[in-house]
Amino acid sequence: MAKKPTGSKEKQTARLAVADETRKPTGDAGKETTEATASSSAAPTSQEPIDDTASQKPVRKVSKAPKKAVARKRSTSTKQDSQATLSLDSNATNSPETPESSSDVRQPLQTISKESDIFDVSQEMSEASSRTLEPSDPPQAAEQPMEPSQANRSPATEPEEHQTQSQDNERPLEPQSREPEPEPEPAPPAYQEPPRPSLFIVHITPELAGVAKVGGLADVVFGLSRELAIRGNHVEIILPKYASMRYDQIHDLHEVYKDLWVPWYDAAIHCTVYFGFVHERKCFFIEPHSQDDFFNRPSIYGFQDDILRYAFFSRAAMEFLWKSGKHPDIIHCHDWQTSLVPVFLYEFYQPMGMTHPRVCLTIHNFAHQGVTGKEVLTATGLHRPEHFLDQVRMGDKRYRQALNLLKGGIVYSNFVTTVSPRYAYETKDQGQGFGLEPTLHTHHIKYGGVINGIDYDVWNPEIDRHIPVQYGLDSIERKYDNKRALRHRLMLAENEKAIVAFIGRLDPQKGLDLVRHAIFNTLERGAQFVLLGSSPDARINADFWGLKQMLNDSPDCHLEIGFDEELSHLIYAGADMMLVPSRFEPCGLTQLIALRYGTIPVVRAVGGLADTVFDKDHSARPLHERNGYVFKDYDNAGLESALGRAIACYNDFPNHFRDLMLNAMRSDYSWNIPGQDYLNIYDYIRDA
Residues marked as binding for ADP-alpha-D-glucose? 213
CA dist., res. 301 & res. 566, Å (int): 24
What 8-state DSSP symbol labels residue 356? S
CA dist., res. 605 & res. 9, Å (int): 111
- Collect contacts of 344-349 with beta carbons under 8 A, ≥24 apart: 344/314, 344/315, 344/318, 344/380, 345/318, 345/412, 346/412, 347/382, 348/318, 348/381, 349/318, 349/321, 349/322
CA dist., res. 634 & res. 223, Å (int): 31
How many CB atoms are located within 10 Å of the residue 81 CB? 21
Alpha-carbon Rg for the chain in angstroms: 45
CA dist., res. 157 & res. 72, Å (int): 10
3-state secondary structure of 542: helix
Residues flagged as binding site: 213
Instruction: Tell me the residue type at 550.
Output: M
CA dist., res. 98 & res. 101, Å (int): 9
CA dist., res. 279 & res. 490, Å (int): 32
CA dist., res. 245 & res. 260, Å (int): 22
Quick one: which H or E segment has residue 622? none
Least Cα distance to 525 among 645, 412, 358 occurs for 645
CA dist., res. 246 & res. 593, Å (int): 23
CA dist., res. 99 & res. 370, Å (int): 98
CA dist., res. 331 & res. 320, Å (int): 13
What 8-state DSSP symbol labels residue 348? I
Q: 234: burial class by Cβ within 10 Å (0-12, 13-18, 19+)?
A: middle
Least Cα distance to 518 among 530, 505, 536 occurs for 530
